[in-house]
Amino acid sequence: MTQPTTQSHLSSLQSKILHAPKAELHVHLEGTIGPETLMALSARNHIKVPYENAEEVRAAYNFKDLSGFLQLYYSALGVLVTRLDFYEVTYTQLKRAAEDRVVYVEFYMSPQSHIERGIGLDTVLGGVAEAIADARADFGIDAKLIFGLQRHRTEAEAFEALEAARPFKESFVAVGLGGVEKGNPPSKFERAFRQAKNMGWPITIHAGEEGPPSYIWEALDVVGADRIDHGVTAQDDPRLIERLAADQIPMTVCPLSNICLNVFPSLEQHNLKTLLDAGCRVSVNTDDPPYFNGYMNDNLVAVASALQLSDGDVYSLLRNGFQGSFASTNRKNELVAGLDKFWLA
């Protein structure tokens, strides 16, 4: 019989969470721009934003749904112009993640939003790659990049973006799909992702955040996704849950994001524990941490308390983060070994 979760247990578990090594697989680089950074870059680059100060930016963090958030997200990324901008945003986020003992990161990026503004991938990746190298030297954190296609655009634009990415193929570990989910099923980009696969990239798809379970099925069976970002609406289809668990498809769940965007009314009603108990390979991630009031430790501590997670539950979430990454098998084994050394000490 499962023992009830006590306050002393939660306190002990919280301490372990704070200090355990972690992977972060679902964080949007352009979504890590905090209010002060947004205003500073706006002033430095003479880019007008609809806010007078950081307090007004924070006041805008009252989202009703994913679409409302994305309006602010796309507006804010417009302040990124120079190589230095991309360097500073990347380095700042990696420094902050390292404070939460994140040792491995996979950043989603939105290259199409930069290319359309006349900012080349050489500028973007130059700043980002330099920051990743410096953060690795300074904090021991490793970071990779995901080329994120935007689902509100056309498939023709996706093909154009993939061609723009071709000279920078080694800079990305995967190609993904994000953006407004409703009305933009993964099948819309079937041929583009087939090309991405032919170019040698694995695929990760935002599906089942607000969209129906059918979008997750499409991501798996039409697009050929190797990983599902979010995926929480899978709970409405028991057969899909069985598929996700049987095939051990990684699912990058973002609890505090889900609350801020009204996917669930409260953390206590989140289905993370249900998915974990069903055998799904779920991990905890931040999505866009400044917007959703939570970095890695904030998310993990909050769900551990709200869902009364056990030591074993939290260990599984952390291990799933490493195992669900696009790192090499050897690197995954190294990362899991580091987690085991800490957790079992």
Distances (CA, A) of 151 to 114, 158, 184, 190, 334: 15, 9, 6, 12, 35
Better-scored residue on pLDDT, 224 or 59: 224
Say if residue 2's pLDDT is above 50.
no
Predicted confidence at residue 88, as pLDDT, reads 97
Average pLDDT over residues 113-122: 95
227 CB neighbour count, 10 Å cutoff: 25
Q: What is the DSSP letter of 85?
A: H
Answer whether 240's CB lies under 8 Å from 259's CB: no
Say if residue 4's pLDDT is above 60.
no
d(CA 38, CA 49): 9
Question: Radius of gyration of the chain from Cα atoms?
Answer: 19
Q: 124 falls in which pLDDT band (50, 70, 90)?
A: very high
User: What's the domain count of the chain?
Assistant: 1
Tokens of 181: 């989910």
Q: Is residue 58 part of a domain?
A: yes
Predicted confidence at residue 340, as pLDDT, reads 98
What is the residue range of 174's domain? 7-343
Answer whether 93's CB lies under 8 Å from 32's CB: yes
Question: In terms of Cα–Cα distance, which of 210, 245, 211, 201 is closest to 106?
Answer: 201
Supply the mean pLDDT for the chain: 95
The identity of residue 5, as a single letter, is: T
Distances (CA, A) of 51 to 38, 39, 55, 135, 142: 10, 8, 9, 31, 34
Which CATH number do you get for residue 127?
Answer: 3.20.20.140
Average pLDDT over residues 105-120: 96
Predicted confidence at residue 345, as pLDDT, reads 85
- Nearest-10 Cα torsion for 227, 230, 236, 240: 10
Q: Is residue 74 part of a domain?
A: yes
Reported as a single tens digit per residue, the pLDDT across 148-185 is 999 999 999 999 999 999 999 999 999 999 999 999 99
Instruction: Specify the pTM.
Output: 0.94
Burial class (CB in 10 A: 0-12, 13-18, 19+), 21: buried
For 98, residues 6+ apart whose C-beta sits below 8 A from its C-beta are 135, 139, 140, 141
The identity of residue 278, as a single letter, is: A
Q: What is the DSSP letter of 228?
A: E
Helices (H) and strands (E) in the chain, counts: 16, 8
Please compute, for residue 190, the number of CA atoms within 13 A of its CA located in the half-sphere on the CB side: 9
Q: Is residue 304 part of a domain?
A: yes
Say if residue 3's pLDDT is above 60.
no
Average pLDDT over residues 186-196: 98
Token look-up 């920078």 returns 168
Q: Is residue 284 part of a domain?
A: yes
Name the catalytic one among 209, 210, 218, 242.
Answer: 209
Reported as a single tens digit per residue, the pLDDT across 65-110 is 888 888 888 888 899 999 999 999 999 999 999 999 999 999 999 9
Q: 6 falls in which pLDDT band (50, 70, 90)?
A: low
Phi-psi region at 232: left, alpha or beta (left = phi > 0; alpha = psi -120 to 50): alpha
Q: Is residue 2 part of a domain?
A: no
Reported as a single tens digit per residue, the pLDDT across 234-251 is 999 999 999 999 999 999
Q: Is residue 1 part of a domain?
A: no
d(CA 159, CA 147): 12
What are the b/e assignments for 315-335, b being 16+ CB within 10 Å? bbbbbbbbbbbbbeeeebeeb
Predicted confidence at residue 196, as pLDDT, reads 97
Q: Is residue 205 part of a domain?
A: yes
Say if residue 60's pLDDT is above 90.
no
Residue 209 is a catalytic residue: yes
Reported as a single tens digit per residue, the pLDDT across 314-344 is 999 999 999 999 999 999 999 999 999 999 8
d(CA 165, CA 220): 23
Predicted confidence at residue 1, as pLDDT, reads 37
d(CA 29, CA 97): 12
d(CA 16, CA 184): 40
